[in-house]
Amino acid sequence: MFLKNLETVGFKSFADKIDVQFVPGVTAVVGPNGSGKSNITDAIRWVLGEQSARSLRGSKMEDVIFAGSETRRSQGYAEVSLTLDNRDKTLPLEYDEVQVSRKVYRTGESEFLINKEPCRLKDIVELFMDSGLGKETFSIISQGKVEEILNSKPKDRRVIFEEAAGVLKYKQRKQKAEGKLEETEANLHRVKDILSEIEGRVEPLKRQASIASDYLEKKEDLKKEEVALLVTQIEDMDEEWKTLEETIENQRQQERKLAEKVAGQEQKIAEIREKSSYTDNSIEETHGQLLQCTKELESLTGKRELFQEKKKHYEEKKGALEHNQSKLREELKELEDLSREAEQTRTEKKQKVQNTKAELKTTASVLYEEIETIDETIESLKADYIDLLNEQAAKRNEKQHLNKRLHQLDTAHSDTRTKKLREELEDVKNQLKEVSEKLRPLEEEEQRLKDACDVKSKEWTETKDSYEEWRQKLYQGYQHMESFKSRKNALEEMKESFAGYFQGVKAVLKAREERKISGIEASVLEALSIPEEYMTAIETALGAQAQHVITENEKSARNAIEWLKKTNQGRATFLPLDAVKERFVPERTIENLRTLDGFIGVASALVEAEEKHSVIPDHLLGHIIIARDLQSANAIAKATGRKFKAVTLEGDVVNPGGSMSGGAKSGKSSSLFTQEQELKELRKKVADYDRKMQNAEKKVKNLKESMNEKEKSLRELEEENDSIKEQARRCREKEKELQLSLSNYEERLSFLDKEYSQQKEEQVRTEEDGKKIELELKDLEDKISRTSEEVDRLTLVKKEKEENRETLVAKEQELKVALATQKAEAENAEDHYAQVTSAYEEKQNALKEVEKNHTELMEFFDNKETKEEIEKKITVKKEQEKTLSDTLNNLKEKRRSYQEEMEELDTQLREDHRIHSNYLQNLQDKEVKANRLDVELENSLRYLEKEYVMTFEKAKSIYHRVDNTDEAVTRVKLIKRGIDELGNVNLSAIDEYEEVKERFDFLKDQEEDLISAKETLRNVMNEMDDEMKRKFEETFVQIRGEFNGVFNQLFGGGKADLKLTDPDDMLETGVEIIAQPPGKKLQNMSLLSGGERALTAITLLFSILKIRPVPFCVLDEVEAALDEANVDRFARFLTEFSTDTQFIVITHRKGTMEHADVLYGVTMQESGVSSVVSVRLEESESLLEV
**H helix runs in 4-133, sequence order:** 38-47, 121-127
Mean pLDDT, range 144-164, rounded to an integer: 75
Backbone angles phi, psi at 775, to 5 degrees: -65, -40
Mean pLDDT, range 698-711, rounded to an integer: 80
pLDDT at 332: 62
Mean pLDDT, range 1145-1166, rounded to an integer: 87
Backbone angles phi, psi at 482, to 5 degrees: -65, -40
- Which residues are part of a known binding site for ATP? 32-39
Q: What share of the chain is helix, strand, coil (3-state, %, to 5)?
A: 70, 10, 20
Burial (CB < 10 A; 0-12, 13-18, 19+), residue 835, is exposed
What does R_g of the chain's alpha carbons equal in angstroms? Answer: 61
1006: CB partners within 8 A, 6+ apart: 191
Mean pLDDT, range 629-655, rounded to an integer: 91
In single-letter form, the type of residue at position 968 comes to: A
HEC readout, 531-555: CHHHHHHHHHHHHHHHHCEEECCHH
Q: Give the end-to-end CA distance of the chain in Å, rounded to a whole number.
A: 36
| CB atoms near residue 605 (< 10 Å) | 15
pLDDT tens track for 932-960 = 887 788 788 878 877 777 787 888 888 88
pLDDT at 647: 94
Mean pLDDT, range 1144-1161, rounded to an integer: 88
The beta-carbon contacts of 889-895 under 8 Å, at least 24 apart in sequence, are 891/279, 891/282, 891/283, 891/286, 892/283, 894/279, 895/276, 895/279, 895/280, 895/283
Helix (H) or strand (E) segment spanning residue 627: strand 624-627
pLDDT tens track for 892-938 = 787 788 778 778 878 887 777 777 777 777 877 777 777 788 778 87
pLDDT tens track for 809-821 = 555 566 566 656 6
pTM over 0.75: no
| CB atoms near residue 342 (< 10 Å) | 19
Tell me how far apart the alpha carbons of residues 843 and 156 are, in angstroms, rounded to a whole number: 120
pLDDT at 1107: 84
- Which residues are part of a known binding site? 32-39
Tell me how far apart the alpha carbons of residues 1116 and 56 are, in angstroms, rounded to a whole number: 13
pLDDT, greater one: 305 or 627: 627
Mean pLDDT, range 273-277, rounded to an integer: 79
pLDDT tens track for 998-1051 = 777 877 777 788 788 888 888 888 888 888 888 888 888 888 888 888 888 888
pLDDT at 819: 59
Mean pLDDT, range 606-620, rounded to an integer: 91
Mean pLDDT, range 660-689, rounded to an integer: 70
Mean pLDDT, range 1121-1143, rounded to an integer: 85
**H helix runs in 949-983, sequence order:** 952-958, 965-981
Residues 484/685, Cβ–Cβ less than 8 Å: yes
Burial 376-412 (b: 16+ CB within 10 A, else e): eebeebeeebeebeeebeebeebbeebeebbeeeeee
Burial 931-970 (b: 16+ CB within 10 A, else e): bebbeebbebbbebbeebebbbbbbbeebeebeeeeebee
pLDDT tens track for 345-369 = 767 766 666 666 566 556 545 656 6
Backbone angles phi, psi at 111, to 5 degrees: -130, 145
Tell me how far apart the alpha carbons of residues 552 and 522 are, in angstroms, rounded to a whole number: 10
pLDDT at 532: 84
Mean pLDDT of the chain: 78
Burial 43-77 (b: 16+ CB within 10 A, else e): bbbbbbbbeeeeebeeeebbebbbbeeeeeeebeb
Tell me how far apart the alpha carbons of residues 520 and 1009 are, in angstroms, rounded to a whole number: 79
Q: Is 516 helix (H, G, I), strand (E, B) or coil?
A: coil
Tell me how far apart the alpha carbons of residues 815 and 544 are, in angstroms, rounded to a whole number: 123
Residues 647/603, Cβ–Cβ less than 8 Å: yes
pLDDT at 194: 75
Q: Is 911 helix (H, G, I), strand (E, B) or coil?
A: helix
pLDDT at 1178: 45
pLDDT at 457: 81
In single-letter form, the type of residue at position 1099 comes to: T
The beta-carbon contacts of 155-159 under 8 Å, at least 24 apart in sequence, are 155/1061, 155/1068, 155/1069, 155/1070, 156/1070, 157/1070, 157/1071, 157/1073, 158/1032, 158/1069, 158/1070, 158/1071
Mean pLDDT, range 19-24, rounded to an integer: 89
Mean pLDDT, range 725-729, rounded to an integer: 77
Q: How far is CA 441 from the centre of its chain?
A: 49
744, pLDDT greater than 80: no
pLDDT at 864: 46
Short-list 715, 713, 709, 714, CA closest to 467: 709
pLDDT tens track for 383-397 = 666 666 666 666 666
pLDDT at 671: 61
Torsion of CA 682, 684, 688, 691, to 10 degrees: 100
pLDDT at 1084: 73
pLDDT, greater one: 917 or 524: 524
pLDDT at 1186: 43
- Length of the chain, please? 1186
732, pLDDT greater than 60: yes
Short-list 721, 728, 729, CA closest to 97: 729
Tell me how far apart the alpha carbons of residues 1076 and 1044 are, in angstroms, rounded to a whole number: 10
Burial (CB < 10 A; 0-12, 13-18, 19+), residue 235, is middle
795, pLDDT greater than 90: no
pLDDT tens track for 184-214 = 888 778 777 777 777 777 778 778 888 888 8
628, pLDDT greater than 90: yes
What order do you get walking across the sheet with 574-576 strand by strand? 520-523, 549-551, 574-576
pLDDT at 15: 86
**∠822-825-831 over CA atoms, to 5°?**
140
Q: Facing residues of 9 across strands? A: 79
Short-list 843, 854, 850, 834, CA closest to 333: 843
pLDDT at 731: 80
